[in-house]
Amino acid sequence: MSIYREYDIRGIYEKELNEQSVVRIGFALASKIDGEYVSVGYDARSHSPILFEYLVHGLNAGGKKVLDMGMVPTPVNYFTNYQEWDGVTPSASIMITGSHNPSEYNGFKITIDKAPFFSDDIYALGDECSKMEFPAKVGREVTKIDAVSRYVDFLVSEFQHLKAMDTKIVYDCGNGVAGIVTEDIFSRLELKTKGLYIEPDGEFPNHHPDPSEEKNLEDVKKLLASDGDIAFAYDGDADRIAVLTHKNNIKGDMMALLYSMKMDKPTVVGEVKCSQVMYDELRRRGCKAVMYKTGHSNLKVKMKEIDADLACEVSGHVFFKNRYFGYDDAIYATLRMLELVYDGIDLDAELEKLPKVFSTEEIKVETSEEEKFKIIDAIKVLLKNPPLSFPKIKDIIEVDGVRINFENGWGLVRASNTTPVLVTRFESTSQQEALVYEKAINDLILDAQKTLLINN
């Protein structure tokens, strides 16, 4: 059951994701899909085509026909849900990807009726798979579709106004699948580009494909310093982006502020880890800013619920409903950022105007799957009567874990939905106060752990 996660299905090839488990997953998913066709694509990992065949076995046995898009970025997979293919519109899509995880990992990101299939639905699917008989093989029903060309044509058409813009662009595909589409898009738009690690290679020989980690950006930073005006980096399946200038590594929340400048008072959804500067600045501009749970599936669902224009995660997931379809797409986000530059917006100057705050990166506190949510519950109880030394609390937000607003900043502690850790983050107008908030909340975590030990 450990492969069935909050946002997707993920595990180690052969050990956890093998013929026995994946065929069952395909067969169980078939019963959740009303229509006849499912579009399926996969990332650059060597075992992805093998998992594709296992999944086809299960889907076909469950009465579904497969539209095979081959190796694609995750956004191309999502894109197929909004297109007709020889008179057929898929009722669901499945992306076979380990995202930014090490090469031995793989998994499935599932969309049904243009909405993410996640959380309790995934846990119930896992329970169903654990009890079912292994499905017999039936005739293979797979139709090839050229999703990459359709996607590239769409983006090139949407961004014709950027053609031959003067900006020098450098980028790092990290040997993930972004390079499958970037080369054609950049070439057809006649952009001045230099790329690193473009060729897909599921062993990721140059660096780990996670642009939220500074160490993975070293090579593209060097290229930017010597030969670029702006830099982009992508994760393994190209649904997360890093944006770099000569002065800034622009996180997802600050990207949202920049993107929103060219929208008419948009509604923007952010996660609980986003800077308060983002929420305050959006509201100052007359926009609607909504704080919600972390996780790409959660944000897509919330966007649809409130008809939002834009959503973001600090880690680089950016979701556009404004002029797009409402899912996270690092390639599309690249072109929207270039559009800002084309329109004369000085990214660094705009960021310089914002209030100065000191923010930590995500700090992870190891715990166990059994205890992480119990610790959060214990912290909520302790906060009803906090220690006398605890910083003055303005208010507490419990939309995802506990975000405590103080007089000059905030602190967050939440349970990760994918790993056995607590995630903390702190922000203040003063670096010293940010450290005070960090110590106060770390002490609270220790007190919560002691409470659990006593109660057990």
Q: What is the CATH number of the domain that holds 411?
A: 3.30.310.50
| Inside any domain, residue 161 | yes
Q: Report pLDDT digits (tens) over 38-88.
A: 999 999 999 999 999 999 999 999 999 999 999 999 999 999 999 999 999
Q: Report pLDDT digits (tens) over 359-409.
A: 988 899 999 988 999 999 999 999 999 999 999 999 999 999 999 999 999
Residues 220 and 347 in one domain: yes
Q: Report pLDDT digits (tens) over 128-179.
A: 999 999 999 999 999 999 999 999 999 999 999 999 999 999 999 999 999 9
Residues 55 and 84 in one domain: yes
Domain assignment of residue 30, given as a range:
9-145
Residues 16 and 35 in one domain: yes
Q: Report pLDDT digits (tens) over 224-243.
A: 999 999 999 999 999 999 99
Of 321, 352, 383, which closes a domain? Answer: 352
> Is 140 among the residues known to form the active site?
no
Strand-pair partners of 168: 192
Residues 202 and 229 in one domain: yes
Neighbours of 372 (CB within 10 A): 21
CB 8 within 8 A of CB 110: yes
Q: What is the CATH number of the domain that holds 284?
A: 3.40.120.10
Residues 272 and 402 in one domain: no
Catalytic residue among 24, 45, 317, 403: 317
Q: Report pLDDT digits (tens) over 94-125.
A: 999 998 888 999 999 999 999 999 989 999 99
Of 88, 111, 145, which closes a domain? Answer: 145
> Is 99 among the residues known to form the active site?
yes
> Is 283 among the residues known to form the active site?
no
Query: Which one-letter DSSP state was computed for residue 17?
Result: B
Q: What angle do CA 447, 452, 456 make, to 5 degrees?
A: 150
Residues 178 and 90 in one domain: no
pTM as predicted: 0.95
The total domain count for the chain is 3
Residues 272 and 340 in one domain: yes
| Inside any domain, residue 1 | no
CB 45 within 8 A of CB 103: yes
Residues 170 and 296 in one domain: yes
Residues 182 and 107 in one domain: no
Residues 172 and 300 in one domain: yes
Of 118, 145, 172, which closes a domain? Answer: 145
Catalytic residue among 99, 275, 315, 428: 99
Residues 308 and 369 in one domain: no
Residues 280 and 172 in one domain: yes
